[in-house]
Structure 1
Amino acid sequence: MGKPLTNTSNLTNTTNYEKTQVVYGIDNVIARAIERWRNTEEKMDSCIDKLQPKLLVTDKMLFPELLDLIKKDIRTRTIFEITEENVFYIRELLRLVKSNGDNKHIIRHLDNVVGNFSISDEKIFQSHVMGDLSVPNKNNNDIKTEKEQKKSGFSSVPDCSPQCILSNFKAFVEQQQNIFELMWEKAIPAEQRIREIEQGIEPGVIETIKDKEEIQNLSFSLLESANKEILVIFSTANEFHRQKGAGFFKVIKKVQEIRPWIKIYVLTPKDNEIEGEIKSNQDFFSFDIVFIEPLQRVSVLVVDKRYSLTVELKDDTKQQPSIDAIGLASYSNSPPTVLSYISVFETLRKQTELLKNLKHHDKIQQEFINIAAHELRNPIQPILGLSNHLMNRKGRDREERELLETINKNAKRLQRLTESILDVTKIESKSLKLHKEKSNLNNLVLDNVKNYKNFIDKSKNITFEYNNFNKDIVIEADKNRISQVITNLISNSIKFIDKKGDISITINKRKETNGENKKDVVVISIKDNGIGIDKEIMPKLFTKFTTKSFQGTGLGLFISKNIIEAHGGRIWAENNNNDGKGALFSFSLPI
């Protein structure tokens, strides 16, 4: 068991009251440490600075006691600060722990551990300050209680003297146990820290920087240190211009000339100036630049997948080259942090490429649909013309007339489909043009209803009701396009009325607020008592291809919305609340 202990007293023998002791001298400090190891019954938690691993492994008095401690049937958790200087001794401690063949002894690493302390069985706290052991100490064997310390004070003890503080004050021990638990959560496995040392990986650091010049200089220093890869994300086009003015790209160019193998990738929003400058100066910008959408005001620099610098953009209105636009910055060499920014970079780059491909695909698709719709339109006109001509000729029997009516009806349906497809392509290519003229809205509604009545299925009995049509309202709008909207909404109502139903059309003038401005509008409402709008499609009612019916394509409401918004109005829909049946579609137009 090693050398017998002298000049010691066990706090556990005085369990009737709480007590604190301070011990001086290397012999007494080591003796108290050994005593705690021997007397621990269930668990011991320890935090040990970077100087002590060597002492644990090489001291002739401590090492045998350490072996006995490892063999005891207790749990230990130990935090070391593992460095290049003590890693050899930590490996030896790990070997001893693993040779015991159980998982009761765990070792972790934490940076900047100062001092040494342990907690035995959550009852006894012991703290060691070893000091400089090369300086002689006259008070080596002094043992002073808390009471004696109050009399003499600590000033009589040299700063270099090894000290040991022991306490069984319950509140104090609990506090120190909580501190240890917090440290334990932040600590990393010893094996991980040893691998970092072997691979030359620096301890993870996350630092907030406030000084603007320091931030700018750090970004240049990181660029100059690059050896493999540079990743840059600018959040706005203005930030690109400011950094160019500050010399950011000159530093990149210099690094590229010295180390031509370095891969450099830049993501930035663009403006006309950036695009033109890059095209005209390709020798200077001889690296990959991908144009992205503007981001939240944070720019990112990642170098060699080891260092990251994120910079807050405080004021994007500042002109180049101004560091006043810079806010706080965060520097890190922590692998998880750096890898997260690399992941953001790769995600942005892939999304941008995907969006570019989708836009190209969408353009080709729109061109194809446009051509197809035009090609369909050409044969429809003669089909309609010939079928009308044959229907009007005398001498047709009933069967022939019904067949011609079927041909004519489906030709008109195909005509409406091709017109809808062409309208969608115009809307999406932003080429929808309006030919505005003054029109009587009342007459426009009545004429459209009258014309549409001819196309209503004869099996349906639909009654129309008109409200507030006693006073004429004149609007300035594209007459044909507004007629298209009215027809679409009436068609929609009729489609969802089973056999018999009512459709009421109401016109109201009112004022609408747009920010601080009020404007006069007319609201046209079309109400029916059909099955109403399905709750599932209500949120996307005015988007393309939204339908739960086998009739129609789901384009009518999308086209109507864009026509009304092009006139400066808006369109909306809701289910009827009063009787619980049917839907109400409304749209407004400025007057």
Structure 2
Amino acid sequence: MGQDNLNSNIDDTNGNKNTTHIMYDPESILKKGVEFLQNINNKMDICVDANAPSTIVTIPDYFINYKTLAKRGCKIRFLTEITKENLAYCKEIMKVVDEFCHLDGIKGGIAVSEKEFMSTTRIIQKRLIIQCIYSDIEAVVEQGQYIFDSFWTNAIPALDRIKEIEKGVKREFIETIRNLAEIEKLLQVIFKHTVAEILIILSDNEDIYKQNIEYIIKLLTEFVSISDKIKIKLLIHRNAYTHHIVTKYLSEYLKAEKVEIHYLKDLFKTNLMLVISDKMVSIAIESKDKGQENVYAKALPFGLATYSNSEPTVSSLLAIFDNLWIQSASNS
């Protein structure tokens, strides 16, 4: 037997007793888990780490009740981290749940029904759970549902994750980033890991153009060596400052034919900085509006950024770049 269970009771607005239990005895936890499953009327949402699928499938009291829920027509949404090691167990669970999704990095687990909530901080493969919190207090159930829904929103379909594991398919993503430090870090990572080609368009916003081109040149000189085989194509606007900074910092790159520069025609206006790496990854960064001040005096003038390796997204941006590159050839 484990440690004693800890209980607390709260009266709801109707005078009914609601309880929260902290449980440490594996057999008691198993019994409460079975009761939880049997009490479900219409639906259960469950989010568990990568160790849990083996526990659910190999402990009959759990999996039999999952099958019973399916036969009763109860809706189950199941969320876990699918790995090579637990894939076979996940496929068994997929047969008895309505929706199954994958999310990286889940720790422990939570389960939420209409009126009850259970959670644990630790799950061991194929073993009974050794610590658990149970509650039927409405506020706790609502909070548990909110946590699950937040995770579910960021998850991907199980079949997509299974393709990644079994067929080596690369996962596509489109991320929206607002944090300036994250945007800077991503740009550094992109430049550092490019192996063949970087394509760049700079915003024509006069208030921030100087900062943008200085930052891009800093990234180029820091992460791209003249001896590298990487090619850089720059689409920028022609002015006195551009000529000065290109001559000062990029002359060696130009001599080595590492950098090609085309000057955008005045008719083309954009408030975006665009970077495409190896025709596989793109980041489009909005420039802050004129008159919009940064919190930090020396902060880069970056607003919202969209980062993606989605083939349709990158291909569309690449087509825009190529079209502008051709149009600007006579202007260079």
Verify same fold: TM over 0.5: yes
Partner of 2:323: 350
Deviation at 1:191, TM superposition (A): 1.2
Partner of 1:486: none
* Structure-to-structure mapping, 1:428-443, within 5 angstroms: none
Partner of 1:33: 33
Partner of 2:256: 284
Q: Is 1:21 aligned with 2:3?
A: no
Which amino acid in 2 is paired with 1:118? A
User: Could you tell me how far apart the structure 2 residues matched to 1:75 and 1:17 are?
Assistant: 27
* Structure 1, gaps ≥5 residues long: 1-6, 8-14, 98-103, 141-160, 317-322, 360-591
Secondary structure in structure 2 of the residue aligned to 1:172? helix
Which amino acid in 2 is paired with 1:168? D
Deviation at 1:125, TM superposition (A): 1.9
Tell me the alpha carbon deviations over residues 80-119 of structure 1, each in whole angstroms, 9 at most, x when there is no partner. Answer: 233454344323433x34xxxxxx6111223443332222
User: Could you tell me how far apart the structure 1 residues matched to 2:141 and 2:82 are?
Assistant: 26
Deviation at 1:220, TM superposition (A): 4.7
Partner of 2:115: 123
User: Could you tell me how far apart the structure 1 residues matched to 2:151 and 2:203 are?
Assistant: 37
* Structure-to-structure mapping, 1:263-278, within 5 angstroms: 264-271=232-239, 274=243
Tell whether the 8 Å contact from 1:233 to 1:345 is kept in structure 2 after alignment: no
Secondary structure in structure 1 of the residue aligned to 2:17? coil
Tell me the alpha carbon deviations over residues 502-560 of structure 1, each in whole angstroms, 9 at most, x when there is no partner. Answer: xxxxxxxxxxxxxxxxxxxxxxxxxxxxxxxxxxxxxxxxxxxxxxxxxxxxxxxxxxx
Which amino acid in 2 is paired with 1:127? S
Q: Is 1:89 aligned with 2:59?
A: no
User: Could you tell me how far apart the structure 2 residues matched to 1:88 and 1:334 are?
Assistant: 31
Q: Alignment length, in residue pairs?
A: 301
User: Could you tell me how far apart the structure 1 residues matched to 2:298 and 2:91 are?
Assistant: 50
Q: State, as a whole percentage, how many aligned pairs show the same letter.
A: 25
Secondary structure in structure 2 of the residue aligned to 1:19? strand
Q: Is 1:246 aligned with 2:218?
A: yes
Deviation at 1:332, TM superposition (A): 6.8
Identify if the C-alpha distance between structure 1 residues 220 and 114 changes in structure 2 by more than 3 Å, giving closer, same or farther: closer
Q: Considering Cα pairs closer than 8 Å and 6+ residues apart, tell me whether 1 or 2 has the greater RCO.
A: 2
Which structure has the larger Rg? 1
Tell whether the 8 Å contact from 1:313 to 1:325 is kept in structure 2 after alignment: no
Q: Is 1:186 aligned with 2:154?
A: yes
Q: What is the alpha-carbon root mean square deviation over aligned residues?
A: 4.6
Tell whether the 8 Å contact from 1:301 to 1:310 is kept in structure 2 after alignment: yes
Partner of 1:80: 80
Deviation at 1:289, TM superposition (A): 3.6
User: Could you tell me how far apart the structure 2 residues matched to 1:186 and 1:346 are?
Assistant: 29
Tell whether the 8 Å contact from 2:21 to 2:135 is kept in structure 1 after alignment: yes
Identify if the C-alpha distance between structure 1 residues 48 and 32 changes in structure 2 by more than 3 Å, giving closer, same or farther: same
Deviation at 1:52, TM superposition (A): 0.9
* Structure-to-structure mapping, 1:1-12, within 5 angstroms: none
User: Could you tell me how far apart the structure 2 residues matched to 1:65 and 1:247 are?
Assistant: 57
Deviation at 1:335, TM superposition (A): 3.6
Tell whether the 8 Å contact from 2:54 to 2:126 is kept in structure 1 after alignment: no
Q: Is 1:199 aligned with 2:169?
A: yes
User: Could you tell me how far apart the structure 1 residues matched to 2:202 and 2:37 are?
Assistant: 57
Identify if the C-alpha distance between structure 1 residues 162 and 333 changes in structure 2 by more than 3 Å, giving closer, same or farther: farther
Deviation at 1:305, TM superposition (A): 4.6
Secondary structure in structure 2 of the residue aligned to 1:50? coil
Which amino acid in 1 is paired with 2:109? N
